[in-house]
Structure 1
Amino acid sequence: MPQAVWNGEVIAQSDDTVVVEGNHYFPADSIRREFFSDSATTSVCGWKGTARYYSVTVNGQTNPDCAWSYPDPKPAASQIKGRIAFWKGVKVS
């Protein structure tokens, strides 16, 4: 089952991920919300839409903007609506 791990803690786990461009998108209900906080950061992808970011804090250390989602993706990326992906040192295996 795919897991997202950062700073020694499993922050998301699900056997229902969607892989897009090499990134596992986890269902929003599979993340451990106590580690996540909203970020003001956004970015725009031409075919997916506008991404919003989250920071993760585990054991007193924060990894800013290491998770993202597309709350209202464009039609071509509809399969990732309600899902969260990771980067910046978060290990997905």
Structure 2
Amino acid sequence: MARASLNGVVLAESAAVETVEGTLYFPRETVRLEHLEPRATRTVCPWRGVATYYDVRVGDRVEPAAAWSYEAPKRRARRLEGAVAFWKGIDVEP
């Protein structure tokens, strides 16, 4: 069971994560979306597409752009559609 957490608060937990280039992507339905705040940041991956970023908030602690998702990935990355990945200050356990 993979888990992402911040300050002891579980943000996502699933046995059905996708692993791509060492990054775990959690199915959206396993993510506590109330901790994600959309931001304008976008990046482009040549084979995955456009990533949408989120600030992660637990109480007063905010980790800026610490989660991202591919809402409309390219064909080769279709399995990541809507899944959420975490980094930068978020504890992710495989």
Structure-1-length-normalised TM-score:
0.96
For the pair 1:62 / 2:59, whether they are aligned, the reply is no
C-alpha RMSD of matched pairs (Å): 0.8
Cα pair 1:7 1:59 within 8 Å, conserved: no
Is 2:27 the counterpart of 1:27?
Answer: yes
Distance 1:22 1:91 in 2: 14
Aligned length: 93
Corresponding letter in the other structure for 1:35:
H
Runs of at least 4 residues off by over 2 Å = none
Any stretches of 5+ residues in structure 2 without a counterpart? none
Residues of 1 paired with 2:31 and 2:72: CA distance?
19
Unaligned 5+ runs, structure 1: none
Partners of 1:33 and 1:72 in 2: CA distance: 18
Q: Which residue of 2 aligns with 1:91?
A: 91
Name the SS for the 1:77 alignment partner. Answer: helix
User: What is the Cα deviation at residue 82 of structure 1?
Assistant: 1.6
User: Under a length normalisation based on structure 2, what TM-score does the superposition of the two structures give?
Assistant: 0.95
Q: For 2:12 and 2:65, locate their aligned partners in 1 and report how far apart those are by CA, in whole Å.
A: 16
Give the fraction of aligned pairs with identical amino acids, expressed as a percent: 44
Match of 1:16 in 2: 16
Letter in 2 for 1:20: V
